[in-house]
Amino acid sequence: MFLLYKFFTFVLYPLFILIIHIRKIIGKEDPIRFKEKLLQTKIINSTNEKKTLIWFHGASIGEITSILPIVEYLNEKNKNLFILITTVTLSSGKIVSEKFKDNKNILHQFFPLDVPHITKKFLDKWNPNIVAFIDSEIWPNFIYEIKKRKKPLLLLNGRITKKSYRRWKFLKNFAKEIFSSFNSTIVSSRESLNYLEKLGSKEIKYFGNLKFMSKTDNHNRLSPSIENNLNNYKVWCASNTHEGEDSYCINVHKNLKKHYSNTLTIIIPRHIDRVEDIFLQCTSQNLKTQVINKDDEIKKDTEIIIINSYGILPKYYNYCKSIFLGKSLLKKFSFSGGQNPIEAAKSGCKIYYGPYVNNFNEVYDYLETNRIAKKVTSYDELANNLVEDLKQPKKIDRDNIVELNKFGEKVFNNTIKEIEKFV
């Protein structure tokens, strides 16, 4: 089956190239660094061959954020260590490159295509001692080549949904070849543990979702002038919204306005290329709307602000204590819904979410049990809850934060012990 996969990826290689070039044209790829995905640019391997190289790969911001505590710990503890981080998305590349721009021992590159000749060339150049894939990043050509070279291969925060399990089940032998190739599999949930066991994984461990390890910087705040301005409003936030949910947020806003004339709604879309569309939706209903970039001041009488910048989310989590997390309210998310709520929870937010959070069921169940999160099924229900929330002064539930941090520390310690077996 590996041979068949190799053949198809090789045949489709010209199509992959075309897709990447199209993505570059429409602004979804770095205009210069996109060549890294095709290995059409020289790989600058500044690592010392005498040092150990650990390669972490995650698709986007969420995956990389989940393992940052591990990266920072390993970098601090072992000076004879190089760390390579690869990502797929434009936004994740920008954030990782910026975060570690002054650290010569932590390097970033965009993940190359999973095509046989590219995987070999990439591994020849970097020659990693240890490889760790994150979440659901399963790339057969890379896995085959890494196993062939007898390099330790780890799966961190491994996640298999019910939907993806059904697909893998039809390729049972192929799945077993792939998932048995991991020397250690640390899963994100008991559900994933069950599915991966059935698919042939070995050495499976569950410590809790790795995203509980993330450190929340409660000092990462908005500027004093912006906070002072926001204090004049009744503020709530709709975070990580997807197409179709923005109209719900607008309806919630209009409902809240009936109770509080000074309502301010903050919309933070998952993908900022949707900002213009959301802006037009708001203005078409005569709502005073402002697009915000980083620390822009809020104009007088603004009703809705739309965030047009990555990396600003934690600042608003530290201010807005009532939030709605998107990709959860519409039926189209029934198989792949939900956004990870841990960062918001660890900022002391009260979280509202829709019924379609299949990707994070266990996390939401945990938060709901501890009264940190609450499920809503319509914009009316969300609005009614927010009406009650906004009656009260903003309050951080520090007890919840302490408990979440304790749990995160436990997950971190167990995960580090497992990784250090291979370092």
- Which pLDDT does position 301 carry in this prediction? 87
Residue 358, classed as helix, strand or coil, is helix
- Which pLDDT does position 110 carry in this prediction? 96
- Which pLDDT does position 216 carry in this prediction? 67
Question: Which residues, including other chains, have CB under 8 Å from residue 87's CB and lie 6 or more apart?
Answer: 57, 58, 59, 60, 63, 64, 93, 96, 108, 110, 111
What gap in Å lies between CA 414 and CA 184, rounded to an integer?
Answer: 13
Whether this model's pTM surpasses 0.75 = yes
- Which pLDDT does position 293 carry in this prediction? 86
> Which two three-digit tokens encode residue 146?
């890494």
Q: Is the pLDDT of residue 45 over 70?
A: no
Question: What CATH number is given to the structural domain containing 323?
Answer: 3.40.50.2000
- pLDDT, tens digit, 9 for 90 and up, residues 391-405: 887 666 677 788 888
- Which pLDDT does position 321 carry in this prediction? 85
Question: Which residues, including other chains, have CB under 8 Å from residue 98's CB and lie 6 or more apart?
Answer: none
Question: What CATH number is given to the structural domain containing 92?
Answer: 3.40.50.11720
Q: What is the domain count for the chain?
A: 2
Q: Which stretches does DSSP call E strand in 250-405?
A: 263-269, 289-292, 304-307, 322-325, 350-353, 373-375
Q: How confident is the model at residue 79 (pLDDT cuts 50, 70, 90)?
A: confident
- pLDDT, tens digit, 9 for 90 and up, residues 260-313: 999 999 999 988 889 999 999 999 999 999 999 877 888 888 999 999 987 788
- CA distances to 114, 117, 118, 362 from 9, rounded to whole Å, are 7, 10, 11, 35
185 has which bridge partners? 155, 204
The type of residue at 2 is F
Q: Is the pLDDT of residue 62 over 90?
A: no
Tell me, yes or no, whether 7 lies in a domain: no
What gap in Å lies between CA 103 and CA 195, rounded to an integer?
Answer: 38
Q: Are residues 203 and 55 in the same domain?
A: yes
Q: Are residues 254 and 288 in the same domain?
A: yes
Tokens 């890294």 sit on residue: 36
- pLDDT, tens digit, 9 for 90 and up, residues 339-361: 889 989 988 889 999 999 988 88
- pLDDT, tens digit, 9 for 90 and up, residues 17-32: 999 999 999 988 999 9
106 has which bridge partners? 83
Domain that holds residue 172: 28-41+48-215+410-420
Q: Are residues 118 and 241 in the same domain?
A: no
Q: How confident is the model at residue 184 (pLDDT cuts 50, 70, 90)?
A: very high
- Which pLDDT does position 273 carry in this prediction? 87
Q: Are residues 251 and 393 in the same domain?
A: yes
Q: How confident is the model at residue 116 (pLDDT cuts 50, 70, 90)?
A: very high
Q: Are residues 201 and 266 in the same domain?
A: no
